[in-house]
Structure 1
């Protein structure tokens, strides 16, 4: 995700000439890697097309980096001046406070029904959808083909095979046989990917936190003993290694294997790294589930433009617009119609491994008001669980206690 701090305003700045004219304000996150592909360009083109057919409606879009966008929206809300729409990382707090329109009050029935089912459910609070998925991705295991070929290796399907491959890569001097980024940038993603591959997760089937489950403790004990403890995760302690640094190392040819999302294809490809992708290895075979991640669109009640917002969002979620955005930023469509179009398109074949994973993916428990606090604690603490001499049971037990307190506070 972009962290460039780009800020732009698109569309009209006022209400125009007639009393019936409306200006809608949208705050959006920047998915670009620089000025050339900033999300400002995507929204500018989309808004131009919409406004040309809707002369009574102007759309002002402010684009902020992922470092800033959630804070910007919160400051607007706290100041009593929320935007009409926000496209950010989480929605549950605002929904629980009664600030958001229900998706069904905004979108036409065909548009709401087009969302992929697991994303719609993830957008619910108390069985009512408030969060509208905007972008999605999944994770697969990337491996360096040249390093594997030189060592005579085949891609792993199980944890034991992954450890054996990592040992062989270490013997050949590979800096990071397996890169395990449990640093504070995105530790929650790597941690959940491993939990799922060990038949665990952050929550149980009843959506209650189960961070210190037997399965999760066994997963992190294995990581500590079989990867980290044997020096197979490189020179930087996993708790200090951020995902961005791990991706950079992979693109530099210094990593044998790591979990990655679609943006790594472009990063590695630009550096000339020949890579392969396989489903996440599991404890006994290919993992039955993988991590899915979604970002969210929401609409605030306070500005009071429900009909105009709904019409604009119907346009935003048209098949063409969802496909255009997904293709521009190597992300997965959040609608069934766009997903089917991508699956059938030769130009999108590079995204096929991720698209295949999406139906079986599991998302963070974003519908829980407590998730923001729990997520922050995971980023701070989870790396300690795999440190030499560390206690997975103790660390995960502490996180479970923190999650219980956060739930009670909510």
Structure 2
């Protein structure tokens, strides 16, 4: 596969998103930053647009200028932070009630909705507007009867495979988890890692496990309910969770993961694959752009992308998908109408598609999916058009750490699947008490 190289700017990854979210939760109140509001109504309006998505910097600047030409009384001021600085800056501004009018809420969407710090975009944007998004990128932002953020750039996980190595071994990408477990001994015997995956930080192991729950139940709402943990009878030690963790144990016992998986960072996981030492790699749609600039040139014709394996032959290949970049509108903004109107402007079909293609990003809208120009991103986006996106980003208090620790305990053998599920439930309940 051949692609044109993506811009060499910092891109969102699942690891970075969660690191930012953790920092936002723990950050002290530092110097707060305002959005330079100048009042609403018919007067001059200044909108603060806060983000760390630097790959869109040129696109946002152009959109702000064009919008100002159409609406001379409205000035949009995009503001960017580095990964390290965005979370504490946002936290400080939220504490001081001086956040931008439009901002990316990290993994705090549900907490901000509970605190009534963001507006209900289902009311502000309308159902017809939101119906154009992939369900998985909407559902992550739903709290009770409202939706408090909207997806910008999505991400999907799949199974990258070395076509040359797989052909030499007489193998094809596995359809089911049983298939993957069955082929692992042959791959190991050849001196290769069957499937490379990031295990340090360990959050990608939860990305790997959570969609299996959806595969078992055939209902993404199950994981969403587990995350919010508010409905009666919802529990992490339920049978679907135990079954999903049992599949993780099956794959571990079969030797699918490398022996040092829990010490493997994303760069090592990726290079193990691109250097020909792993037959397959589990990772997300944020990988292909960097692949074009980091892999040996000859490797670029030796890989393919397959759907995540499923639990049974002919089963639906539910895969990890949600939006890492999302937009929220501050309930404290004096210019909410202008903020909502500018969001609609950003999502103009032609404008939005160009922004996605120029940055090699996966769109969150179904209409843009049809126009994706990158062959790799188009392949992975097509799975969403097939309705196979499943939740994997945990927003509930304590959920991410609890789930990740549970998966790790199964991988390292310190707990059985049933024990791990029970520990996840206990940890989540405890976190909600603090």
Distance 2:219 2:236 in 1: 7
> Which of 294, 318, 343 does residue 323 from structure 2 map onto?
294
Match of 2:27 in 1: none
Q: CA deviation at 1:157?
A: 0.7
Q: Secondary structure at the match of 1:60?
A: strand
> Which of 229, 236, 260 does residue 211 from structure 1 map onto?
236
Q: CA deviation at 1:24?
A: 0.8
Unaligned stretches of 5+ in structure 2? 1-10, 20-34, 227-233
Distance 1:185 1:48 in 2: 42
- Does 1:84 pair with 2:112? no
> Taking structure 1 as the reference length, what is the TM-score of the superposition?
0.83
Q: Greater CA deviation, 195-204 or 151-160?
A: 195-204
Would the aligned equivalents of 1:201 and 1:216 in 2 still touch at CA under 8 Å?
Answer: no
Quick one: structure 1 residues 201 and 404, their matched pair in 2 at CA, closer, same or farther if it must change by over 3 Å? farther
> Which of 363, 373, 384 does residue 391 from structure 2 map onto?
363
Q: Secondary structure at the match of 2:125?
A: coil
Quick one: structure 1 residues 376 and 219, their matched pair in 2 at CA, closer, same or farther if it must change by over 3 Å? closer
Match of 1:8 in 2: none
Q: Secondary structure at the match of 1:204?
A: helix
Quick one: structure 1 residues 114 and 202, their matched pair in 2 at CA, closer, same or farther if it must change by over 3 Å? closer
Quick one: structure 1 residues 299 and 396, their matched pair in 2 at CA, closer, same or farther if it must change by over 3 Å? same
Deviations 1:137-170 (A, max 9, x none): 2222111112112212111111222123222221
Would the aligned equivalents of 2:187 and 2:279 in 1 still touch at CA under 8 Å?
Answer: yes
Q: CA deviation at 1:382?
A: 2.4
> Which of 345, 354, 379 does residue 353 from structure 1 map onto?
379
Distance 1:169 1:379 in 2: 27
Would the aligned equivalents of 1:203 and 1:211 in 2 still touch at CA under 8 Å?
Answer: no
Quick one: structure 1 residues 45 and 250, their matched pair in 2 at CA, closer, same or farther if it must change by over 3 Å? farther
> Which of 95, 120, 125 does residue 102 from structure 1 map onto?
120
CA RMSD of aligned residues (A): 3.1
Aligned length: 386
Q: CA deviation at 1:230?
A: 4.3
Match of 1:71 in 2: 88
Q: Greater CA deviation, 214-223 or 52-61?
A: 214-223
Q: Greater CA deviation, 306-315 or 159-168?
A: 159-168
Distance 1:403 1:214 in 2: 17
Distance 1:352 1:299 in 2: 30
Distance 1:286 1:330 in 2: 31
Distance 1:203 1:113 in 2: 17
Match of 1:149 in 2: 167
Match of 2:152 in 1: 134
Would the aligned equivalents of 1:280 and 1:286 in 2 still touch at CA under 8 Å?
Answer: no
Q: Which structure's relative contact order is higher, taking Cα pairs within 8 Å and 6+ residues apart? A: 2
Report matched runs for 1:18-37 at 5 Å: 20-30=43-53
Distance 1:334 1:231 in 2: 35
> Which of 281, 298, 312 does residue 258 from structure 1 map onto?
281
Quick one: structure 1 residues 408 and 67, their matched pair in 2 at CA, closer, same or farther if it must change by over 3 Å? same
Distance 1:67 1:194 in 2: 32
Deviations 1:71-110 (A, max 9, x none): 3212101022121111242311111111112214533665
Unaligned stretches of 5+ in structure 1? 6-11, 33-37
Match of 1:377 in 2: 402
